[in-house]
């Protein structure tokens, strides 16, 4: 995707229907669409940013007739005021800015917005309430061909770098309670697992992080060598019920007597394995409070 956005792109990113955007264009002149040499209308990232800002003020009760009459300066001022008054509005605007940074592959903008969020909300709240929704939205945009893979990689790698930086600032501890964290083979989306690693390390747990695409025999050897007693495993892609059950049954067999925390599976497995040594976690809160 280059700088040119179609009206359908604006709809998919903002949630405002294309016909509504066209109506606003005609009635309130919110945009002046550009045209290609073949006379096809298109929009740029500034148009998208304005639309996202308009959506923010509309969500807080302003009428489009009034919002559209605001200058860019006044609209930005109103967005800043909303952020001061309303935490959800502030976070929504930060997510919008990070989407713009992603579309532009703009490292400087991403860094500036990210650091602003860290300053206002801290690392954990930023990851859980801003970065996580951002990645979900980017993932959805990618699945409907509104982002190409490079955009998803751009943001994912930046987030990974931020997490590694935060993790590197934490001290290593020694404990009899040791965790091994990994993703199974063919699993590569490790941001959630990295964040779990950060949380456990911050709570002074001893952790061995194996990362993505790890064969089960390697996990077994690591547990044997380190005498780890808790295993954290996450699934991020679809697998058939038979494959999941085969994998879980193997975990139970190989790691009898150890605690196994599994993330990313439907609730149905909680019932099926309630009498096993597997505990299913859905949220960071579950991870923090497992017993």
Report the 3 state secondary structure along 16-50.
CCHHHHHHHHHHHCCCCCEECCCCCEEECHHHHHH
Residue 44 pLDDT > 90 = no
pTM of full prediction above 0.75: no
Residue 140 pLDDT > 70 = no
| Residue 167 tokens, joined | 């993790």
Q: Can you give the length of the chain in residues?
A: 291
pLDDT digits (tens, 9 = 90+) for 239-289: 888 999 999 999 999 999 999 999 988 888 888 888 899 999 988 888 888
Confirm if 173 and 206 have CB atoms less than 8 A apart: yes
Residue 143 pLDDT > 80 = no
Q: pLDDT band for position 117 (50/70/90)?
A: very high
Instruction: Please give the domain boundaries of the chain with CATH numbers for all domains.
Output: 7-165 (1.10.1660.10), 172-288 (3.40.50.280)
Residue 48 pLDDT > 80 = yes
As a whole number of angstroms, the distance between CA 289 and CA 291 comes to: 6
As a whole number of angstroms, the distance between CA 11 and CA 51 comes to: 10
CB-side neighbour CA atoms (13 Å) of 133: 14
Residue 115 pLDDT > 90 = yes
pLDDT digits (tens, 9 = 90+) for 229-250: 999 999 988 788 899 999 999 9
């Amino acid at each position: 995707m280059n700088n040119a956005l179609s009206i359908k792109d604006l709809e998919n990113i903002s949630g405002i229907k294309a016909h509504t955007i066209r109506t606003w264009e005609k009635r309130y002149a919110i945009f002046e669409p550009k045209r290609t040499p073949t006379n096809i209308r298109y929009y740029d990232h500034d148009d998208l940013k304005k639309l996202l800002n308009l959506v923010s003020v509309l969500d807080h009760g302003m009428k489009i007739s009034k919002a559209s009459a605001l200058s860019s300066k006044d609209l930005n001022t109103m967005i800043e005021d909303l952020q001061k008054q309303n935490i959800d509005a502030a976070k929504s605007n930060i997510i919008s800015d990070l989407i713009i940074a992603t579309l532009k592959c703009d490292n400087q903008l991403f860094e500036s917005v990210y650091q602003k969020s860290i300053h206002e909300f801290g690392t954990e709240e930023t990851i859980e309430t801003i970065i996580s929704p951002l990645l979900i939205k980017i993932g959805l945009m990618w699945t409907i061909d509104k982002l190409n893979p490079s955009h998803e990689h751009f943001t994912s790698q930046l987030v990974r770098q931020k997490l590694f930086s935060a993790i590197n600032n934490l001290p290593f501890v020694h404990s009899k309670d040791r965790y091994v964290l990994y993703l199974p083979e063919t699993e590569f989306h490790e941001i959630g697992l990295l964040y779990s690693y950060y949380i456990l390390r911050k709570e002074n747990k001893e952790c061995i992080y194996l990362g993505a695409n790890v064969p089960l025999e390697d996990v077994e050897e690591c547990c044997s060598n380190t005498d780890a007693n808790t295993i954290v495993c996450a699934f991020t892609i679809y697998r058939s019920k038979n494959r999941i059950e085969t994998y879980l049954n193997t975990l139970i067999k190989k790691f009898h007597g150890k605690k196994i925390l599994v993330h990313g599976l439907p609730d149905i497995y909680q019932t099926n394995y309630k009498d096993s040594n597997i505990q299913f976690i859905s949220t960071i809160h579950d991870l923090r409070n497992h017993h």
